[in-house]
């Protein structure tokens, strides 16, 4: 096991064993039981100032305690900075560091299941498979995850993503107003440990005073000594998992290259004639049917077998559909495949077959 993989292994183990949830609870209890002067001495904030985008282009201000309790504090207008926030909160010094809480429309939370082999580097696997689980690519979003259950044959986790333009826009606006964002969180239904803050902003947003580093560093060292030895004994398993992930990454790169090639072909215009051959394209048939059939017609199925198309559905007047379809140059030999039946709402159910005129591909 390499030195760079040890922190990742510790993080995965702590997530899967519940240690992270215990530490967050323990810290909340310590903060709640500590006097304010001690919190100020250690540089620990008793609450977090959260800014949530609103419809007016500004931000709604709430305070979140260490135990998760929320309280309203007011609204910041566009461009208003720490001095205005200090007045809203009634505190002596203007706060510089805040948390950005995204709205439901700016983020997406998905429950994802990965194979056990992905437990070594779930972040990399999620990046390669992002378009399988969300409508986005990894390059279009900021994402983080929290492991829900890793004890079985599969790895279950919550994936949280947010489009980069939305996050970058809020970070830029808050930075221009004089704030430093330490955390970017999704709505309340997402895991609390997920942080969508881009890596480029984390160096400034994660500074801690020396007493805090010493206190929590000691606790982390004790846990590391306890956990490192069994992890070291299982280094062969970890190395095997890393090799499997590397193999999956190579396959994902191949898929990405094929996707990029497909997009370049699509942007060049139409499908090449050599791929088209003598078979009709489903998109052409669907476009012609949509253009010809009247608005009071509902298609329930459309099947293409060779140059034969079969469609079924309901219409106000099914007998009028034959003439409409024959009027389109794409269809010929239009006919009913079964007798017309009357539906419960008074509409007519039909089954129509036709041949599709296919243009010969140019030489």
Over range 224-240, report the average pLDDT: 73
Q: How confident is the model at residue 1 (pLDDT cuts 50, 70, 90)?
A: very low
266 within a domain of the structure (yes/no) = no
Mean pLDDT of all residues belonging to the chain: 76
Q: How confident is the model at residue 353 (pLDDT cuts 50, 70, 90)?
A: very high
- Any domain includes 361: no
Query: Same domain, yes or no, for 186 and 116?
Result: yes
What is the percent of the chain with per-residue pLDDT over 90, rounded to a whole number?
A: 3
DSSP 259-298: HHHHHHHHHTSS--HHHHTTSPPHHHHHHHHHHHS-TTEE
228 vs 272, which has greater pLDDT? 228
Say whether both 306 and 224 belong to one domain: no
Question: How many distinct structural domains can be found in the chain?
Answer: 2
> Looking at the domain assignment, is residue 277 inside a domain?
no
Per-residue pLDDT, 211 = 45
pLDDT in tens, 47-101: 678 888 888 888 888 877 655 566 667 788 888 888 887 777 777 777 767 888 8
Residue 4's pLDDT band (cuts 50, 70, 90): very low
Q: Decide if 87 is inside a domain.
A: yes
Residues 84 and 158 in one domain: yes
125: domain CATH number? 3.30.420.380
Looking at per-residue pLDDT, the higher value among 362 and 225 belongs to 225
pLDDT in the model for residue 210: 44
**What confidence score (pLDDT) does residue 9 get?**
59
Q: What is the pLDDT of residue 22?
A: 62
State the CB neighbour count (10 A cutoff) for residue 352: 22
Q: 250, 266, 291: which is the final residue of a domain?
A: 250
pLDDT score recorded for residue 207: 41
Contact of 129 with 165, CB cutoff 8 Å = no
Query: In this predicted structure, what is the pLDDT of residue 226?
Result: 72
Whose structure tokens read 């949530």?
52
pLDDT at position 60: 84
Q: What pLDDT score was predicted for residue 209? A: 42
Give yes or no: residues 183 and 324 share one domain. Answer: no
pLDDT, greater one: 265 or 206: 265
Residue 41 has pLDDT above 60, yes or no: no
pLDDT at 183: 84
Of the two residues 53 and 359, the one the predictor is more confident about is: 53
Q: What is the pLDDT of residues 105-123, one digit of tens each?
A: 788 888 888 887 777 788 8
Residue 227 counted as domain residue: yes
Q: What percent of the chain has pLDDT over 70?
A: 69
Among 22-36, 181-195, 298-312, 333-347, the minimum mean pLDDT is found in 22-36
Question: Burial of 176 by CB count in 10 Å (0-12 exposed, 13-18 middle, 19+ buried)?
Answer: exposed
Is 80 exceeded by the pLDDT of residue 270?
no
Among 135-149, 180-194, 200-214, 262-276, the range with the most confident prediction by mean pLDDT is 135-149
pLDDT of 289 > 70? The answer is yes
- Give the β-pairing of 154-163 and 97-101: unpaired
Domain of residue 286: give its range: 282-356
* One domain for residues 45 and 193: yes
SS3 190: coil
Tokens of 17: 């064993």
Mean pLDDT computed over 203-230: 58
In the three-class reduction of DSSP (H, G, I as helix; E, B as strand; rest coil), residue 249 is classed as helix
What are 311's two structure tokens? 């469609």
pLDDT at 305 over 70: yes
pLDDT at 48: 76
- CB-count exposure of residue 230 (10 Å: 0-12, 13-18, 19+): exposed
Confidence of residue 204 (pLDDT cuts 50, 70, 90): very low
**pLDDT(342) > 70:** yes
Question: What was the pLDDT predicted at 29?
Answer: 52
Could you tell me whether strands 47-53 and 59-65 are parallel, antiparallel, or unpaired per DSSP bridges?
antiparallel
Domain assignment present for 315: yes
CATH of the domain at 349: 3.30.1360.100
Q: Read off the pLDDT band of 16 (50, 70, 90).
A: low
Q: Is position 262 within any domain? A: no
Q: Pick from 250, 272, 307: which residue ends a domain? A: 250
Give the closest residue to 317 by CA, choosing from 287, 289, 295, 291.
295
């Amino acid at each position: 096991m390499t030195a760079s993989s040890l922190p990742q292994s510790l993080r995965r183990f702590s997530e899967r064993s519940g240690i992270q949830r215990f530490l967050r609870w323990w810290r909340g209890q310590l903060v709640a039981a500590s006097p304010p002067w001690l919190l100020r001495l250690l540089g620990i904030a008793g609450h977090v100032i959260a800014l949530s985008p609103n419809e007016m282009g500004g931000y709604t201000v709430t305070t979140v305690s260490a135990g998760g309790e929320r309280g309203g504090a007011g609204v910041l207008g566009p461009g208003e900075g720490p001095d205005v926030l200090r007045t809203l909160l009634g505190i002596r010094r203007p706060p510089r560091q805040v948390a950005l809480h995204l709205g439901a429309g700016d983020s997406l939370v998905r429950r994802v299941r990965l194979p056990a082999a992905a437990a070594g580097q779930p972040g990399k696997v999620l990046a390669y498979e992002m378009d399988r689980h969300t409508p986005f690519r990894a390059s279009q979003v900021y994402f983080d995850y929290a492991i829900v259950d890793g004890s079985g044959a599969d790895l279950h986790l919550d994936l949280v993503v947010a489009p980069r333009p939305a996050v970058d826009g809020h970070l830029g606006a808050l930075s221009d107003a004089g704030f430093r964002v330490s955390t970017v969180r999704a709505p309340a239904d997402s895991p609390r440990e997920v942080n969508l803050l881009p890596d480029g902003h984390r160096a400034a947003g994660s500074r801690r005073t020396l007493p805090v580093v010493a206190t929590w560093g000691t606790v982390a060292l004790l846990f590391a000594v306890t956990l490192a030895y069994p992890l070291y004994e299982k280094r062969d398993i970890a190395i095997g998992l890393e090799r499997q992930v590397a193999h999956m990454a190579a396959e994902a790169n191949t898929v990405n290259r094929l996707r990029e090639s497909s997009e370049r072909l699509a942007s060049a215009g139409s499908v090449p004639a050599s791929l088209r051959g003598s078979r009709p394209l489903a998109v052409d048939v669907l476009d012609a049917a949509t253009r010809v059939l009247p608005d009071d017609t509902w298609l329930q199925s459309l099947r293409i077998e060779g140059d034969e198309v079969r469609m079924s559905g309901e219409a106000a007047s099914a007998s009028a559909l034959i003439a409409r379809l024959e009027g389109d140059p794409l269809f010929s030999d239009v006919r009913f495949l079964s007798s017309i039946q009357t539906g419960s709402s008074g509409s007519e159910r039909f089954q129509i077959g036709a041949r599709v005129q296919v243009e010969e591909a140019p030489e």
